[in-house]
Structure 1
Amino acid sequence: MLVTHLEASRDLCETDSILFGAALAVCRIIGAKVSTAGRATGHSSAIPALRRRIEERIAKARALIGRLICFRSGNNRPRIVRTISMAFAGTNVSLSQPDITQKLTEGIDDLKQRIAAWGKRIRRYTERSTRFNQNCLFQSDQKRLYESLERPMVSGTGPAPNQVDTLAFWRGLWSEPVNHSEGHWREVVASQCAGIKPMDPVIITPDDVAEAVCRAPNWKSPGLDGLHHYWLKGFIVCHAVLAR
């Protein structure tokens, strides 16, 4: 089927669509789970379930700390009193006992220690995940791993550049006419290059495409077409069309 459809393809975009449809058909036939939603949207930003649960605990603990501080400072609104009563439910602490202020302070300190412990747990989990991903990347694509290690961390917390100043800066570089003082070196270079034979036109053959695809990692993140290199290796009939 691919031979018939690929011969009728008119451009690279249509060829990619045909190959993607063939890959999707194969996955459906063998029963593999695929997700066509979000093609070419980049890496998934889903938060792991463990980290999400811990972050929810931290958020609830911080909210409870705020209620405890409000009650300790004398805020006796029914909503706050109800929250404090639920927090001390099942304990021998009563809101009417004389040392309730000390109990509130101890409860706040205990919650702060729990938040600190949960934060350390998240950091340990993140470091472990980073090490695991780096080890996997070392096995699959060492070049990409070394590039990620050498790339400096870019912080996006600074102020955004002003649009007017940015436009003025680049217009000053590209829009203003510049008169260069040309010397005699142009004539020298032209005379030296007069005897150079022009390079023959490059003709890309199916063997060139097959060799390039063979060197590419199977499951590297795809581009806009959403097609992994694995399928380009498997669909050998597409090499001639891609070369064309």
Structure 2
Amino acid sequence: MHRLFAELEPSVTVTEQNLADRVRYILRSNTFDVTELERLRREAVPSSGENAAAEDAAPQLAEQTANVDAAVNTPVVVDSNDDETVAQELELEQMRSTLEEAIVETRSTTLENRPRLPRLALSKRNRAVVRALNPMLVTYLEASRDLCDTDSILFGAALAVCRIIGAKLSTAGRATGQSSAIPAWRIRIEERIAKARALIGRLICFRSGNTRPRIVRTVRMAFAGTNVSLSQPDIMQKLTERIDDLKQRIAAWGKRIRRYTERSTRFNQNRLFQKRLYKSLERPIVSGTGPAPNQADMVAFWRSLWSDP
């Protein structure tokens, strides 16, 4: 290996041990991804005419070449953003089959029924997967028929990346929407109400004489940041004030939910009324046909509507 390196880089002075240590460090630290290692291996491996000279090199050359081949064909371990070691198999054949299945599935799926793709973190592992899939897309893109087919190919590639790295995909299509789901703000307010009710229960238990360690710890957390101590003579009054404050907050949060719910209901009703109104305006006007309405029936009909508070 040292003899071959000296022929390739005669201007660089390095010892045999130093060169072996650097190669071993590069292989163990996984500085390069699968695609980069494959390119370096093709550039570094001598041609058939130079094989005879390479066979006379030091035993370390064969060992390091085998390590390079093993690094290409075995799972690659890279460091994620939070310095945790992640092991993931990046075999090219499996990735190619996953890409082909994703493209075929995307081509047969309408745009409305495609899953929503999550936002991926820019980690070394994710970038390695993308770099390995990019060369595979050339064949599909060259055979693309139109812009829609190109869009299906690119979306299938993104879907394949998510499946390879194990990202969670949404099962609902794009056209489903989130109209029937509970809004995030309401979930947050309901969680606050549930925590406040649980805290009120603990405070009432402590006020009733329950001094279990869990109850006492919760009461101390409720008065954290204040000058209230459990050994004060007016602790019962402080507990009552704290409970009343939590009850008022729960009532305010409940009114907020009801106010937003009523506003949403009015908005949906107005929108439905506008649709019916516009639809009626689009119909042809027919006048002078049929019997005239009865006055008593009209009064009874509108009285039943407007007499309701």
TM-score category (smaller protein): 0.3 to 0.5
Q: Which has the larger radius of gyration?
A: 2
Q: State the TM-score, normalizing by the size of structure 2.
A: 0.34
Larger RCO, structures 1/2 (Cα 8 Å, 6+ apart): 1
